């Protein structure tokens, strides 16, 4: 028994003396530390879970959504522009644009070398673009390419083993003008982002452009699109012009012939319905192709009918005649002695081109006598003449629905000099646009009412609903119907035998109109040029019940450039071809006989 107790004591002594033995107190401390660490770790994990699931939930959800969803701005189809007979003048077609994802492209140099010639850039520039945008997930490389270019790009992409995640195509709406140069100055053009830049495209851009929409779609882990429900935004509204494409073609053809025949620097023609203000044709030369607008000169894209000023010369005399008749200062048969060939006003001598003897009031305008016109103007007086010219719309915009129209130059009465009344009596000291002159003549043609011209008659939604309709608008009555009729009778004689516009005569239909031959004022010398002229003719036909009013203006024709020689024949050709196109019958037989007898 004693021996066994001794053995137990010896065993405890050996245990106590074991160097590898961990004291109980230390063991408990270590366990406490380990448990504390484990519990702290779980606490950190728990707090992080709370942070992720509660505090940062919205932020993380948003980040996840960005990683697996994309937003794309959908291009809208721009509205169609039709002529008055619903023929397409401007439309939208689908084309492909090329994008790149620089962050996914490893060998930018090799891609740039092979792709650059296809998209018409340099390999150096393309490589620089890709390298500088290396952190981007989307950049445009080429917009609205043609079919052949798309095929070439696809071939390059396939040859390099690239896919949509590196290079891809997006369908965009591109503007197309099927009639090319026809009515280019009226329609205008839009830029690569389908925003109107000029003409009707600019003025009605709010209606035409439609509305872009943003669509969200999901992607897989590789960025591939999982849905493809929407393909375009809300389309724009369609527009119906007052322009007739057939008449527009006739006008432009005759203008081109006149430009070539007279080696002119520019030419303009505008045709209007004198009763409603509808513009049936508006043409300019030089011209351009709106499909290739960037390749044209700015001066060739300018609509000179609304932006360029000129002195109207003798075409303004019709307003003088109407004003004097309205004030009942003269009868058409009253006579004037112009035999001296000139008249002096304020120390300035005004001459007639041809010498006359005694002329009636009507003959003063038939033969375009400057001396007789000045006599009439002086009797009418500055105050009344200024008032009537303002009533006829000079010095103010016509209000046509087109950008860039100018008001013209017509000085306030207080700024008139001692020679201003005489100068204005023969169409000088005033700057007008062709449209302003045409509108004034339309007032004579329709019985004295000044109408507002317009180019768009209706705006129609994509589903056929009428959004807006423009209807004729009379601004004011300028002269009485009786005065308009008397003035028309005088203007008819201008086209008869002995008048200045015999070459404007149209077989079977009476014409009323007036020629103009104005010297171009040289701002450098401060004098009128002796060899540069603006030749014009403006009139309406049939004279007694007009279907149309037309002005033709030719700038700087070779030679003296009389309006009756240069512009009047262009007027005649345009009207004759237009009447054939519209199937307009000749007037009464007695009118035809009258024309033959004259």
Q: What residues act catalytically?
A: 314
3-state secondary structure labels for all residues of 355-394? CCCEEEHHHHHHCCCHHHHHHHHHHHCHHHHHHHHHHCCC
596 Cβ contact list (under 8 Å, min separation 6) = none
Listed residue (170, 146, 150, 142) closest to 228, CA to CA: 170
In order of 50, 116, 179, the CA distances from 416 in angstroms are: 87, 64, 47
Cis peptide before 542 (omega within 30 of 0): yes
- Alpha helix stretches (DSSP H) within 51-92: 57-68
Distance CA 487, CA 495 (A): 14
291 Cβ contact list (under 8 Å, min separation 6) = 176, 177, 180, 189
Listed residue (94, 101, 91) closest to 145, CA to CA: 94
Q: Which two tokens stand for residue 166?
A: 């590196």
Q: Which two tokens stand for residue 436?
A: 């302003």
Distance CA 492, CA 55 (A): 90
Return the DSSP state at 559: S
SS3 helix, strand, coil % of the chain, rounded to 5?
40, 25, 35
Spatial contact of 81 and 245, defined as CB atoms under 8 Å apart: no
Q: Which two tokens stand for residue 86?
A: 């619903």
| End-to-end Cα spacing for the chain | 169
Q: Are strands 167-176 and 88-100 parallel, antiparallel or unpaired?
A: antiparallel
3-state secondary structure labels for all residues of 397-444? CCCCCCCCCCCCECCCHHHCCCCHHHHHHCCCCCEECHHHHHHHHHHH
Distance CA 208, CA 234 (A): 11
Distance CA 306, CA 398 (A): 9
127 Cβ contact list (under 8 Å, min separation 6) = 108, 109, 111, 112, 113
Taking each helix axis from N to C end, the angle separating 317-326 and 382-391, rounded to the nearest 10 degrees, works out to 110
Q: Which two tokens stand for residue 548?
A: 């149309």
Spatial contact of 400 and 186, defined as CB atoms under 8 Å apart: no
521 Cβ contact list (under 8 Å, min separation 6) = 311, 527, 528, 529
Q: What are phi and psi of 279, to 5 degrees?
A: -85, 115
SS3 323: helix
The residue written with tokens 């962050």 in the block is 103
């Amino acid at each position: 028994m004693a021996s066994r107790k001794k053995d137990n004591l010896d065993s405890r002594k050996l245990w106590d003396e074991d160097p590898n033995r961990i004291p109980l107190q230390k063991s408990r401390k270590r366990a406490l530390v380990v448990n504390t660490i484990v519990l702290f770790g779980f606490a950190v994990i728990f707090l992080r879970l709370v942070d992720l699931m509660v505090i940062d939930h919205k932020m993380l959800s948003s980040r996840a959504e960005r990683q697996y969803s994309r937003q794309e701005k959908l291009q809208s189809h721009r509205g169609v522009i039709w002529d008055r007979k619903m023929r397409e003048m401007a439309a939208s077609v689908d084309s492909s644009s090329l994008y790149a994802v620089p962050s996914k492209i490893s060998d930018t140099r090799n891609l740039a070398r092979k792709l650059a010639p296809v998209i018409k850039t340099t390999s150096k520039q393309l490589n620089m673009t890709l390298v500088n945008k290396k952190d981007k997930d989307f950049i445009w490389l080429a917009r609205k390419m043609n079919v052949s270019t798309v095929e070439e790009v696809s071939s390059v992409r396939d040859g390099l083993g690239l896919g949509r995640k590196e290079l891809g195509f997006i369908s965009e709406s591109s503007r197309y003008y099927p009639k090319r140069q026809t009515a280019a100055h009226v329609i205008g053009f839009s830029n690569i982002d389908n925003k109107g830049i000029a003409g009707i495209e600019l003025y009605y851009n709010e209606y035409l452009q439609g509305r872009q929409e943003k669509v969200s779609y999901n992607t897989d882990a590789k960025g591939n699109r999982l849905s493809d429900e929407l393909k375009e935004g809300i389309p724009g509204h369609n527009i119906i012009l007052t322009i007739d494409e057939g008449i527009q073609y006739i006008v432009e053809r005759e203008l081109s012939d006149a430009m070539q025949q007279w080696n002119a620097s520019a030419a303009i023609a505008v045709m209007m319905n004198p009763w409603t203000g509808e513009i049936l044709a508006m043409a300019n030369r030089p011209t351009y192709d709106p499909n290739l607008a960037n390749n044209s000169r700015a001066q060739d894209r300018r609509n000179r009918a609304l932006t360029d000023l000129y002195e109207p010369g003798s075409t303004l005399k019709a307003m003088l005649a109407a004003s004097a008749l309205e004030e009942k200062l003269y009868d058409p048969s009253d006579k004037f002695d112009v035999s001296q060939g000139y008249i002096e006003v304020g120390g300035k001598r005004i001459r007639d081109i041809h010498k006359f003897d005694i002329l009636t009031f009507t003959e003063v305008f038939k033969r375009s006598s400057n001396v007789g016109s000045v006599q009439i103007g002086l009797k009418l007086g500055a105050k009344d003449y200024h008032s009537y010219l303002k009533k006829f719309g000079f010095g103010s915009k016509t209000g046509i629905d087109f950008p860039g129209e100018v008001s013209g130059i017509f000085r306030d009465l207080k700024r008139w000099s001692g020679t201003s009344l005489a100068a204005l009596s023969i169409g000088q000291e005033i700057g007008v646009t062709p449209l302003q002159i045409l509108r004034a003549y339309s007032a004579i043609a329709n019985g004295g009412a000044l109408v507002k011209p317009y180019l768009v008659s209706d705006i129609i939604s994509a589903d056929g609903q009428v959004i807006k309709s423009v209807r004729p608008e009379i601004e004011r009555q300028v002269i009485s119907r009786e005065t308009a009729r008397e003035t028309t009778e005088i203007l008819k004689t201008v086209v008869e035998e002995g008048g200045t516009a015999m070459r404007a005569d149209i077989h079977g239909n009476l014409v009323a109109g007036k020629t103009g031959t104005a010297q171009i004022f040289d701002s450098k010398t401060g004098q009128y040029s002796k060899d540069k002229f603006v030749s014009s003719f403006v009139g309406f036909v049939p004279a007694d019940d007009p279907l149309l009013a037309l002005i033709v203006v030719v700038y700087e024709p070779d030679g003296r450039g009389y309006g009756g020689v240069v512009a009047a024949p262009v007027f005649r050709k345009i009207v004759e071809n237009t009447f054939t196109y519209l199937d307009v019958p000749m007037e009464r037989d007695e009118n035809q006989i009258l024309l033959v007898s004259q």
